[in-house]
Amino acid sequence: MPTPDVLVLGAGTAGSIITRRLLDAGLTVTLVEAGGADTNPAIHDMSRVGELWLGPEDWGYFSAPQRNAMDRRLHIPRGKVVGGSNQLNGTIWVHGSPWDYDQWAAAGNTGWDWESVSPLFKRIESAQSPEGLIDTVEPDLSPIQQAILDSAVAHGLPLNSDYNSGDQEGVSRMKLNLRDGQRLSTWAAYMRPVIDHARLTLETDALVHSLIVSDGTVRGVRIIDADGRRRELHAGLVVLSGGAIGSPTILLRSGIGPADELRQHGIDVVADVPGVGKNLQDHFLVPVIFGTDRPIDPPLPFQPVTQTQWFWKSDPTLPVPDTQPINFSVPFYYDDGMTGPASGFTLHAGLIRPHSIGSVTLRDTDPASEPIIDFNLFDDERDLRALVRSVRQCREVGRQGPLADEWGAYEALPGPDADDSDEALAAWVRRAVNTYHHQAGTCRMGTDAEAVVSPGLRAIAVENLMIADASVMPSVTTGNTNAPTAMIAERAAELITAGLTSNPRSTKE
Ligand SMILES: Cc1cc2nc3c(=O)[nH]c(=O)nc-3n(C[C@H](O)[C@H](O)[C@H](O)COP(=O)(O)OP(=O)(O)OC[C@H]3O[C@@H](n4cnc5c(N)ncnc54)[C@H](O)[C@@H]3O)c2cc1C
């Protein structure tokens, strides 16, 4: 096989966009993905997303026991399929706050301020730009979602018609990535139309073991392919897009990471990069589940289970909202210990500006092993406080407006046994907290000693390696992370094509 210009590792949200843009720019690309084709009908039908959890398309990770959450191990779904986590996600399209990107820039990441990145979001969206490939739609609300929205307004939240306008606060209908009622992942939008491209080689069901590095330069990658064979692939440039869990673990197995950690596993140290796998940030949800006297119809086929959300400051002095409750049209019982009525709805309290910082480390050197993912939940008490306030607010919303008057909503969980004290609500938060699936930051960009990539997304310690996915975020954005990851991917492709115009083999900034 001829050597491609670029090897892209991971066909998720970011890898799909980068591959397409590099093909458009005339480059030869090999795209390597651990998962297979997106043939499962539940991927495409947003009323069936729950079926994907712990199925063949889910890496099915569990966190380390969370000492401040009753030692619970939280399920961490991650997409193992072409399209990656975008094929399992809720398709909620949220830019984040302009403040997020200005913070990135203020930390030394020149070029990532809001004014610089907002044109990239515009370029991605078909409603904003003729070259945009991603559709965002607001589906008609189901009757229970309309009642949730109206009850939130009755509670005093402003109705916000566009949370991507720069002002996130208030309750909104969600903007979802759907086309003809079906999920529109970046894989579907960017890659499906070019799947037979002459300059594309697609390796699916191929697990990346590690990078091949010699003389401080990345030359290619070792994979275990669909037939179980160990093979090496080479390229002029390698782009790592394995996501916030996959990218740091690939680096660690390659000998790029904290030297002491690598030696513990008997891995030769290629580059001592202390920040690899550190700075894990995520968002967290806590369900407040209601039954209703008036029966709620189950979601129709292709009807999204979640359609409304709100952004709210649990402390009015904060610069941006630190909570983002999202609302499900069904009672969502996360584990066997949670029981209640079969028909109902869930208002999820949501923490989106976490202070506790976690890590991703290797369990062993087997690429098929689950890494140790430790959120370090509630290490910082402010996170617990914000979730307690958010749970209290969700309870209040469920008790008023049309939810109470027209649907006869009653709280099933935490339920009447939990009083309204901070202690009682904190106990529920520790018992019921789960990830909101927005892991980020584990190969963060920056200019300091803990940075893994430069603001130009080049690996700091080795040549010919770029990292582009949710792992490079310096801090997680205020809201869902798919759109920000897509934005990072567009920027990455732009940086590669600009840098390669003069010399296709040069990766220097
Ligand atoms: C259940 C769920 C719901 C979510 N809901 C939303 C939402 O509604 N809105 C939103 O904005 N965000 C949501 N997210 C988050 C969003 O989907 C992610 O932030 C985004 O997909 C991250 O993109 P990525 O490219 O960084 O990683 P991914 O999309 O995860 O891509 C990484 C790819 O690399 C592959 N890979 C990893 N390791 C290896 C290896 N060793 N060898 C080969 N391939 C490898 C993976 O299989 C995967 O395909 C959700 C996520 C989940 C899991």
Query: 140-173+283-360+374-436: which CATH topology?
Result: Cholesterol Oxidase; domain 2 (3.30.410)
Rounded to whole angstroms, the Cα distance separating 509 from 502 reads 12
- Count, in order, helices (H) and strands (E) of the chain: 12, 23
Query: 1-38+81-138+187-280+437-509: which CATH topology?
Result: FAD/NAD(P)-binding domain (3.50.50)
Residue of 44, 95, 209, 438 marked active site: 438
Q: Whose CA is nearest to atom 38 of ligand 1?
A: 246
CA of 14 to the centre of ligand 1 (A): 9
Q: Is the ipTM of this complex over 0.90?
A: yes
Question: Model confidence at 152, in pLDDT bands (50, 70, 90)?
Answer: very high
* Phi, psi angle pair for 363, to nearest 5°: -80, -45
Write the Ramachandran bin of 84: left for phi over 0, alpha for psi from -120 to 50, otherwise beta.
left
From 21, 168, 285, 437, mutation site for ligand 1 pocket: most ligand atoms within 8 A of C-beta: 437
Residue 438 annotated to the active site: yes
CA of 244 to the centre of ligand 1 (A): 8
Is the C-beta atom of 12 inside 6 A of ligand 1?
yes
pLDDT at 507 over 70: no
Residues 6+ apart with CB under 8 A from 302: 45, 46, 47, 181, 182
pLDDT at 505 over 70: no
**Which pLDDT belongs to residue 4?**
87
| Mean pLDDT value across residues 19-30 | 97
| Mean pLDDT value across residues 440-452 | 98
**Which pLDDT belongs to residue 499?**
77
Q: Is 479 exposed, middle or buried (0-12, 13-18, 19+ CB in 10 A)?
A: buried
Question: Model confidence at 1, in pLDDT bands (50, 70, 90)?
Answer: low
Burial code of 245-261, b = ≥16 C-beta within 10 A, e = fewer? bbbbbbbbbbbbbbeeb
| Mean pLDDT value across residues 337-363 | 97
pLDDT at 339 over 50: yes
**Which pLDDT belongs to residue 355?**
98
Domain edges within the chain: 1-38+81-138+187-280+437-509, 140-173+283-360+374-436
CA of 143 to the centre of ligand 1 (A): 31
pLDDT: which is higher, 508 or 346: 346
Give the β-pairing of 465-467 and 237-240: parallel
**Which pLDDT belongs to residue 500?**
61
| Mean pLDDT value across residues 11-32 | 98
Strand partners, 239: 8, 466
pLDDT digits (tens, 9 = 90+) for 70-87: 999 999 999 999 999 999
The average confidence (pLDDT) of the chain is 96
pLDDT digits (tens, 9 = 90+) for 396-445: 999 999 999 999 999 999 999 999 999 999 999 999 999 999 999 999 99
| Mean pLDDT value across residues 151-161 | 98
Q: Tell me which amino acid residue 215 is.
A: D
| Mean pLDDT value across residues 120-137 | 97
| Mean pLDDT value across residues 478-487 | 98
Is the C-beta atom of 89 inside 6 A of ligand 1?
yes
